[in-house]
Amino acid sequence: MNQQPQTDPRIHPQIAEILAHIPASDGSAPSLEGWRGAEESRVPAPAERTPQLPGVRDAVAAAAHGDVPVRIYTPDERERSGVIVYFHGGAFFSGSLDTHDGAARALSVESGLTVVSVGYRRVPEDAFPAGLEDCYGVVRWAAEHGSEQLGWDGGTLAVAGDSSGGTYAAAVTGMARDEGFVGITHQVLLYPSVDLDFTEAGTARYPSRTENATGYGLETAGLVGHNSFYLDSGADPTDPLVSPIRRDDLSGLPKALIITAQFDPLRDEGEAYAARLRQAGVEATVSRYGSANHGFMVNFAWIPELYEAFTEVGRFLQQA
């Protein structure tokens, strides 16, 4: 087993304690069954999931490319509210409605909005762009049928995603603009992957891929192996639907909140994407969590100062 280097003392001590037991990445692709199984094994029983909500139900969204499983979270007893369509992370091959159930609950509680978590198709079983089509399809379904099926009040319609789910959220806003659909009001990108060029040149563009290359959970070498299922399925890193930062024109996209983590290889590309949005005239806010690593909103939300990120998202989504 490769030993990790000593962790930076600025990282949260409870995160550092766990990182000390995670072996370094060798850059190979993980076992599909092993990785997915390990994730699912950590999911609490339904009665133990927090925060508790008045309504959590599984449903099916009749999207343009077929039915998509969704889980709908209602924060209170109000009949109508705004809606967040949420895309879970997992490098496009893992993650599920269950593994990211806690994040969806927290988004609903802190925003006061209904959350629709999307069980999109994953690679390698379903090649690119199947998962992206599902995500976009559910957003259009929410806009077209949300009034009767979600209690949507016709106001906020946000997209949100963590990690590769952030890739999908950013790509969906571009798809919507290209099709003339202007219904998305906000985009929330949680430590997103927006440039899937993992070549030497791609890595050189972002200092965080070097600064945070090893020792912080997600490692730069691991980006290659984990994303290999997606790229091998036909996702081209030069395609703006795969690498949203490659989109030539970002004008007209919804305002954005981009949350990054200091000790994340993906930190700088997320912040660079925010800078490009601002250059295109889009309101974009970056919030960097200085003691956190990649995935902290899913893995370490039990740490109060890191749970604050959900509260920040809630405040952003409450803005008109």
DSSP class of residue 218 equals S
The answer to whether residue 21 is catalytic is: no
Catalytic residue among 162, 197, 264, 268: 264
Catalytic residue among 163, 164, 228, 243: 163
The answer to whether residue 163 is catalytic is: yes
DSSP class of residue 199 equals S
Is 249 exposed, middle or buried (CB count within 10 Å of its CB: 0-12, 13-18, 19+)? exposed
3-state percent breakdown (helix, strand, coil) of the chain, nearest 5: 40, 20, 40
Six token digits for residue 53: 């909500």
Spatial contact of 300 and 65, defined as CB atoms under 8 Å apart: no
The answer to whether residue 264 is catalytic is: yes
Residues near 314 by beta carbon (within 8 Å), at least 6 away in sequence: 107, 109, 110, 111, 112
Six token digits for residue 182: 């202007």
How many Å apart are CA 160 and CA 174, to the nearest integer?
A: 14
| Cα distances (Å, whole numbers) of residue 102 to 35, 45, 136, 299 | 19, 12, 22, 10
Residues tagged active-site:
163, 264, 294
